[in-house]
């Protein structure tokens, strides 16, 4: 299926690894020009090289280092695709997960930090991007949240609580920015990202598993699909939601979890 986004301009935040990187890769593979973002310049440079290797022939892929909790840095980040490509058609927001903790272990400072990282980063990015997304026929926003907004995960009180604000924001944007801009969210379950790989490696060191493959298989035990998600499963969905092929989808929060969640809604 041709997603009809070749030549479009996209910005993907927190895309130097994991699900953000997969989203950038999927967009570039469809021919979109993409700005990747991350805080670590070396890792960002590596991600740009990886995405360029998979990009369509005419797609341009560049990186822009920025801290999403710095309002001035976010404004400069949003200006980058305008300066580089002459506009902005698609915004994909992502951010690293907050630390795993129980409620009673979590400090006020950690609550504020999680809100700034997960919610205010989206607020600032969308605020700066909205005029450009609304221009020239309109554009799209896809927010990468978590399946934890549907079903709370043990010892992830910050993600369970704060990410719900991201989905509430996405639903509001789908109405306030309509009809020029469509806004949707994706809710990933367990994918084989560097974060999960690191957790499995830690378990190997403690002797919990005899091999990496055994650890990954164990993580997949409760997933009806029978395996962890490939980050590109989510990336291709993000590209679809950014395309005219999904033109009647807006305000959706779409679980991508292999059936892992037990939520009815």
173/138 same-domain check: yes
**Start-to-end Cα distance in the chain:** 29
114/197 same-domain check: no
155/55 same-domain check: yes
235/145 same-domain check: yes
150/210 same-domain check: no
56/185 same-domain check: yes
Query: Does the residue 53 lie in any domain?
Result: yes
82/129 same-domain check: yes
What interhelical angle do 157-176 and 108-115 show, nearest 10?
30
Q: Which of 6, 2, 31, 34 has its CA nearest to residue 21?
A: 34
Q: Which value, to the nearest 10 degrees, does the dihedral of the CA atoms of residues 15, 18, 23, 28 take?
A: 70
Give the integer Cα–Cα distance in Å for 44 and 59. Answer: 18
74/156 same-domain check: yes
Query: Does the residue 260 lie in any domain?
Result: no
Q: What is the tens place of the pLDDT at every residue in 51-88?
A: 999 999 999 999 999 999 999 999 999 999 999 999 99
Q: What is the tens place of the pLDDT at every residue in 145-167?
A: 999 999 898 889 999 999 999 99
> Whole-prediction pTM value?
0.94
Query: Does the residue 3 lie in any domain?
Result: no
117/80 same-domain check: yes
Here the CATH number for the domain that contains residue 251 is 3.40.50.720
Q: Examine residue 179 and say whether the peptide bond preceding it is cis (omega within 30 degrees of 0).
A: yes
Q: What is the tens place of the pLDDT at every residue in 14-54?
A: 999 999 999 999 999 999 999 999 999 999 999 999 999 99
Q: What is the tens place of the pLDDT at every residue in 154-201?
A: 889 999 999 999 999 999 999 999 999 999 999 999 888 888 888 788
Domain tally, the chain: 2
pLDDT over threshold 80, residue 204 = no
47/172 same-domain check: yes
Query: Does the residue 2 lie in any domain?
Result: no
What residue spans of 63-220 are helical by DSSP H?
A: 71-85, 108-115, 121-134, 157-176, 194-206, 212-219
Residue 66 belongs to domain spanning? 9-189+231-255
176/95 same-domain check: yes
């Amino acid at each position: 299926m041709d997603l009809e986004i070749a030549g479009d301009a996209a910005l993907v935040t927190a895309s130097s690894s994991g699900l953000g990187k997969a989203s950038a890769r999927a967009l570039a593979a469809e021919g979109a020009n993409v700005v990747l973002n991350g805080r670590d310049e070396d890792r960002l440079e590596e991600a740009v090289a990886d995405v360029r290797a998979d990009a369509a022939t005419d797609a341009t892929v560049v990186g822009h280092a920025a801290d999403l909790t710095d309002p001035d840095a976010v404004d400069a980040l949003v200006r980058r695709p305008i300066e580089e490509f002459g506009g902005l058609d698609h915004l994909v927001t992502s951010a690293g997960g907050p630390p795993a903790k129980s409620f009673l272990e979590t400090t006020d400072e950690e609550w504020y930090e999680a809100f700034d990282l997960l919610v205010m980063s989206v607020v600032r990015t969308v605020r700066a991007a909205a005029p450009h997304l609304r221009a020239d026929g309109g554009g799209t926003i896809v927010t990468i949240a978590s399946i934890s907004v549907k079903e709370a995960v043990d010892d992830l009180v910050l993600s369970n609580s704060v990410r719900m604000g991201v989905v509430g924001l996405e639903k509001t944007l789908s109405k306030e920015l309509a009809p020029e801009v469509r806004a949707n969210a994706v809710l990933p379950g367990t994918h084989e990202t560097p974060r999960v790989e690191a957790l499995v490696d830690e378990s190997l060191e403690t002797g919990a598993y005899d091999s990496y493959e055994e650890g990954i298989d164990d993580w997949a035990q409760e997933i009806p699909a029978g395996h962890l998600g490939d980050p590109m499963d989510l990336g291709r969905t993000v590209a679809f939601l950014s395309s005219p092929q999904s033109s009647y989808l807006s305000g959706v929060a779409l679980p991508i979890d292999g059936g892992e969640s037990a939520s009815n809604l």
